[in-house]
Structures are given as structure tokens and as C-alpha cells.
Amino acid sequence: MEGIFYALLPAIAWGSLVLVSVKLGGNSYSQTLGITCGSLLFAVVMFFIKTPEMSGLAWAAGMISGFFWSVGQLYQLNSVKYIGVSKTVPISTGMQLLGTTLFGVIVFKEWTSKTTVILGIIALLCIIAGVIFTSTGQSEDKNEKGNSLKKGLLVLLLSSAGYIGYVVIIKWFNISGWSAILPQSLGMLAGALLLSIKHNPFSKYAFRNILTGIMWGIGNIGLLLANPKVGVAIGFTFSQMGIVISTLGGIFLLGEKKSGKQLAFVIIGCVLVIAGGVLLGFTKH
């Protein structure tokens, strides 16, 4: 039961992160800066509570990984102004799952049996279908909405590339999660400053978004604590469930208007992405 509680933390914290950040206000630059400041504060506290062994490689790889994360987070928040939270999060999650899975299969040879190959292919098809469902349903008679969708998808491609780099670099150099926390948060802050310094990110909204950074840190710790207790498969699977919070929150809390058809498409897309995430969980050891 304790392990399931830990596994739910990433879903709740990460699933509501974009929602809370948008609700707190500001542009994507001040939001990203605030999130990285909050994650650094959390990482420093955790470093003194549980001090891992640190190597030069862990510092370097962790900081580079954190920089990639800041790219992913900034452009994910940027896409919200084009397509809203209820579309951004499920599409972003689907793109990340596709990218990290394909990288894992091709580079790290993660699918080693016929069963994992079959489950993995079905999972990828579910995720692709989910992304398609979530991104369709725009009003055909409004060109402006169509253009916004295209811009949002392009921004999310860049965001997903950042998130994929964040995950892959740590795995490539085999850095443990506990060792990566502090270096990553430093890289995240450096990346946020570099990417947003020309956009005057220092505002009350950056200060407010320190809260979302602490939320991100809680989710990260939850996943690290959950994996040894419930296994990577369950921990990974539970972490994907947060898109339900973001999607429904965007519609009902932020008031993103949807027709009946659009709402149905978004919900079907979410279910398919989650189903794909669950199946991918079973391919992990």
C-alpha cells in the first residue's frame, strides 16, 4: 500500500503541474523559471536528507539532462497558448512515450522477448491513435484554430525532444535517480535562465511558480521511492495517469471550451494514451 501511495505522487504532482502553473499566471518564461527555482530548493533539501555518492560524470550528465528538461518544460508551457492544457498534456505525454520507447528499443534494446515486442507494438499503436484523437476535433470552419493546432504541435515536437533528451542522457550514462536530482535541478535552472533571460522572466509569477517546482520535485521523489517497492512497470504506469487531471482540469477548472464532439475526442485520446502507457509498463523490467 505504501508503494502504491508513492507511485501515485508523480501522477498527482506532474499531472497537475501545467494546470497549476497556468492557474498561477505569467508567461511560459516566468513559469519555467519559477518551476526550476522551486525544484532546486527541493533538491538541495533532499540532498542533505539523503546524500548519494556523486561523481564528476553524475554532475555533468545530470546538468545536461536538466538543461534538456528546461527546453521540454518551456515549450510545453508555450504550447498551452495555442491549444490549451486539455490538448497539450495528452499530446505531449504521447509524444514523449513514443520517443523514449523508440529510443529504448533501438538504442538500449529493451524489448528482448516476443511478448514485450507484441505488447510494445500494441502500446505504440494505442499512443499514436490517442495523439491523433486528442489533436483532432477542431472546428473545420475556423482557420485560426487550425493554424493554432499546427503551431501547438510544432512547439510540442520541440518540447518532446527536450524531455526525451532529459530521460535518455541519464539512462545512457547509467546515473541513479538519487544522484541525478541536484545536478539536474542546477541544469534546469541554468537552462531556464539561458532560454528566458531576453523575455524578462523575473516577476511575481516566477515567484509564485516556485510552488510548481516543489510539486515537480515531490513527484520525482515519489517515483524514486515507488520503483523499489512496486517495480518499474507499476511505477512508470502510474506516473502516466496524471494526464486525466490535466485534461479534465483544463476543461472544467480553466474553462477551456469544448463542443460535445471535441470533448469526446479528447477523452478517447486520453484513454488510448493511458492504455498505451499501461502496456508499455509491462514491457519494463
Element (H, E) at 147: helix 143-172
Q: Which residues contact 119 (CB under 8 A, 6 or more apart)?
A: 279, 280, 282, 283
- Count of structural domains within the chain: 1
Please report, in tens digits, the pLDDT of each residue of the chain (285 residues total).
Answer: 788 889 899 999 999 999 999 999 999 999 999 999 999 999 999 999 999 989 999 999 999 999 999 999 999 999 999 999 999 999 999 999 999 999 889 998 889 899 999 999 999 999 999 999 998 755 444 555 678 889 999 999 999 999 999 999 999 999 999 999 999 999 999 999 999 999 999 999 999 999 999 999 999 999 888 878 877 777 777 877 888 899 889 988 898 888 888 889 999 999 999 999 989 988 876
Beta strand ranges found along 188-262 (DSSP E): none
The model's pTM: 0.92
Taking phi over 0 as left and psi of -120 to 50 as alpha, with beta for the rest, 175 belongs to beta
Amino acid in the structure at residue 216: W
Q: Which domain holds residue 236?
A: 2-282
Report the C-alpha gap between 281 and 45 in whole angstroms. 30
N- to C-terminal Cα separation, the chain:
20
CB 59 within 8 A of CB 183: yes
